[in-house]
Amino acid sequence: MSLTMAPSKRKTQFKALVRTWGDKLGVEITGLYVRPMRNKWASCSSNGILSFSAELLEFEPDVWNYVIVHELLHFDIPNHGKLWKSLMRAHVGDWESCEAQLRAHASRCHESR
């Protein structure tokens, strides 16, 4: 997927990927939003509503997968303990590199403000 793709098409593909992961992980998604968020990459509510930062659309799909799976796992695992990390590794592989990309991006953005 190209970063030069129209933002609306990237958003549509992102949402489709969220739904695919939701089905795979057995999470019922009742609401799905991609919107500006100041302090988080994503959030989820106990009633199945997911919100993702529109800024994620600037990243490659491997980062999308990391953030999506991260949030979906929180429906069953509320922390970042051993089980959560094990499941992240099983589903995403090297999730730490994606997390590092997001942290580096956030740090650069924070410095430019």
The CATH number of the domain holding residue 60 is: 3.30.2010.10
How many independent structural domains does the chain possess? 1
14 has pLDDT over 80: yes
> Cα separations (Å) of 94 from 7, 9, 69, 85, 97?
27, 27, 13, 11, 6
The answer as to whether 2 is a domain residue is no
The answer as to whether 102 is a domain residue is yes
Q: What is the pLDDT of residues 73-101, one digit of tens each?
A: 999 999 999 999 999 999 999 999 999 99
Mean pLDDT in residue range 5-19: 92
The CA-based dihedral angle spanning residues 105, 53, 39, 89, taken in that order and rounded to the nearest 10 degrees: -70
Specify the pLDDT at position 3.
60
Specify the pLDDT at position 2.
53
Specify the pLDDT at position 107.
82
Residue 29's domain spans which residues?
7-111
Q: What is the pLDDT of residues 26-61, one digit of tens each?
A: 999 999 999 999 889 999 998 899 999 999 999 999
- In the chain, count H helices and then E strands: 4, 3
The answer as to whether 54 is a domain residue is yes
The answer as to whether 17 is a domain residue is yes
The CA-based dihedral angle spanning residues 84, 90, 92, 93, taken in that order and rounded to the nearest 10 degrees: 110
The answer as to whether 101 is a domain residue is yes
